[in-house]
Amino acid sequence: MSKQGKEWRLPTRCCVLCDRTLEEVGGGKRIVWSGTIGVGLSDRPRGGGNPEFPEKSAPLDDGSGCYVLVKGRRELWTDDNIERARQAYLSGQQPWICQRCAGRVCRECGAPINYPVGADILHNSGCSTHAPVFGFDPGCTNRNCRKFRKWKL
């Protein structure tokens, strides 16, 4: 593993916070980092930052010198959730956060939005892309919602 853990890792089966699959949460994308929530690796311990969405790190303890880095509201990142992320990294996988846990949902119905603006998205292959912030309504994935918009990212 590289110091920063930059190699591609396949996603874990379930969200690191709610332990549900994408299908169980109603679809959407896998989020690994955004302005308010995230999970990743760091080559040094980090902490603090935004008091509402602080960063916290824990040693990976695999001899690499890497740290599991999490960001978000304190109540989300319990010791169990941080340990789940650590175990995912130790098994060679990338933990992720569903759009429901990340708050990237429709304001009307609560289903995942089509385009989780401002987030790094983890794909099935293990690569990630950034969804930049654009000035448009991304629409909802729920066919029964008035904000539904069929759209592929």
* pLDDT tens figures, 122-149: 999 999 999 998 888 899 999 999 999 8
**pTM value?**
0.90
* pLDDT, mean over the chain: 92
CA dist 69 → 86, 95, 107 (Å) = 9, 11, 29
CA dist 129 → 80, 86, 124, 148 (Å) = 27, 22, 12, 23
**84 SS3 class:** helix
Task: Give Cα 24 to chain centroid, integer Å.
Answer: 16
**112 SS3 class:** strand
Q: What is the pLDDT of residue 1?
A: 35
